[in-house]
Structure 1
Amino acid sequence: MKHPAAPLLEASHLALRVGGCRLCGDLDLCLRAGECWVLLGPNGAGKTTLLHTLAGLRAPDAGEVRLDGRPYAAWRGQQAARFRGLLAQQQPDQFASTVLETVLVGRHPHLGRWGWEGPEDERIARAALDSVGLGELAARDILSLSGGERQRVALAALLAQSPRVLLLDEPTNHLDLRYQIAVLDLIRARADSGHGVVMVLHDINLAARYADRIVLLDGRGGAQAGTRDEVLRADLLGAAFGHPLVRHEIDGRAAFLPA
């Protein structure tokens, strides 16, 4: 009898609070290879806080997060960085550097303490840049890029890191429609190739298109977690976002529009 693969990332009975406000309680999440989870909810509901908790950057108020079956306390920092990577919501650039140098930062978890990037690291970084359509900008100063280009460079750095689990906070930030779809297609392809993905999105219809499972935070301490069809319901979404929605079927896809 074949047993299912162990989860890449799990959260059990998770509870989060910020400033005395409850964001969620008793939340369970189980990310397996090949899956894409999307965190949805109104502004201030706690999506980034939840993502950072799943990344091991903050401790939950209750419950536990396990990476490949082990709590974060059992992982060395460099070891965890090889297994899971985080794309932050904002990309601060304090110093000038080339686009390629910025992407090579993603290779640091794979280097020794005194190691330098070698030809294979550069090959991986250039391939990541090519995958986001920025290969020709490798020599450009990072400070000269537009916001959308900088976002794609950040995604390339995450891809160069080569983690099994990708955690992405609003990966479509600053991107026009063409690149929103291109980036989300690329992320979905990573999941389909056996990686695990958890990402924050604001667009309900993009979540409906790319997610396998959803966590919907309502901003009042409630959370719904389940399959896309279980959670993406007009009544649940309307209650969470504070405005009634109507579900439509367009070319076999669910779409939600304001009532």
Structure 2
Amino acid sequence: MTPAAPMLEADRLALRVGSRWLCCEFSQQLVAGQCLVLLGPNGAGKTTLLHTLAGLREPGAGRVLLGGRPYAGWRALDAARFRGVLAQQQPDHFSSTVLETVLVGRHPHLGRWGWEGPEDERVAREALDSVGLAELAGRDILTLSGGERQRVAVAALLAQAPQLLLLDEPTNHLDLHYQIAVLDLIRGLADRGRGVVMVLHDINLAARYADQVILLDGHGGVCAGARDEVLQAGLLSRAFGHPLRRYELDGRTTFLPD
């Protein structure tokens, strides 16, 4: 039996913005059931890398394969059904209800002239319930707090039901309770066979949820591999420009500034 292709693969990938190389060439694979975290200091290129992995921009060198094929080999609609993207910011220019906003996630599953039906509404309401916002389905999106709006964005991605989720700072605007709740939810999707790529700022959350890590140092360097290979105090200290120490506390790996 031929093994399934990786859900996502970076093959000798390098990123360039203008004349600046954000990272040198590296290769990495993500298979179903795994969570990959992109980590690094501000400005290192984490969002640029996520967008490249999502097929939203061309790499400076190398290629990205989605399910074993380059993005050029996918119909846009099929790619939208296979992979979904959570953006870092959620601009809302028009008034709409929370439920209507989440239903946008169902659009890849509708025909060109299709309208959302009862099944789409069921999926959207279930997604809202999973992020603790079922009771806000009728609220105007413009009246939400930043944290509530972020959870609505996560619900829209869940309603899209992609096999591969790419999330840019999913903990944006969330307090501690909802940071853990949302990351537990995302980790649970991976444990049930989805693929997850997410940008995080918190090293300790990366240590808690990642199977693999890509660490950008902000100077073109990149270290990619299994979580425990990359999350080393020396590598992290150099990347973030501050000495860190690694501790094992109650069975969890924790990094603290020196």
TM-score range, shorter chain: over 0.9
2 CA distance for matches of 1:183 and 1:120? Answer: 24
2 CA distance for matches of 1:113 and 1:46? Answer: 35
Give the SS at the match of 1:179: helix
Q: Which structure 2 residues correspond to residues 242-257 of structure 1 after superposition, within 5 A?
A: 242-257=241-256
Give the SS at the match of 2:21: strand
Give the SS at the match of 1:182: helix
- Show the counterpart of 2:109: 110
- Show the counterpart of 1:101: 100
2 CA distance for matches of 1:29 and 1:166? Answer: 16
- Show the counterpart of 1:160: 159
> Partner amino acid for 2:209?
Y
2 CA distance for matches of 1:94 and 1:79? Answer: 28
Give the SS at the match of 1:29: strand
Structure 1: give runs of 5+ residues left out of the alignment: none
> Partner amino acid for 1:95?
F
> Once superposed, what is the RMSD of the aligned Cα atoms?
0.7
2 CA distance for matches of 1:91 and 1:245? Answer: 33
Deviations 1:154-190 (A, max 9, x none): 0000000000000000000000000000000000000
Residue 188 (1) aligns with residue 187 (2): yes
Residue 29 of structure 1: how far off its partner (Å): 1.5
Runs (4+) of structure 1 exceeding 4 A deviation are none
- Show the counterpart of 1:54: 53
Deviations 1:199-241 (A, max 9, x none): 0000000000000000000000000001110000000000000
Calculate the TM-score normalised by the size of structure 1.
0.98
> Partner amino acid for 1:34?
G
> Partner amino acid for 2:185?
L
- Show the counterpart of 2:33: 34
Q: Which structure 2 residues correspond to residues 1-259 of structure 1 after superposition, within 5 A?
A: 4-259=3-258
Q: Decide which moves more: 11-20 or 174-183.
A: 11-20
Identity %: 77
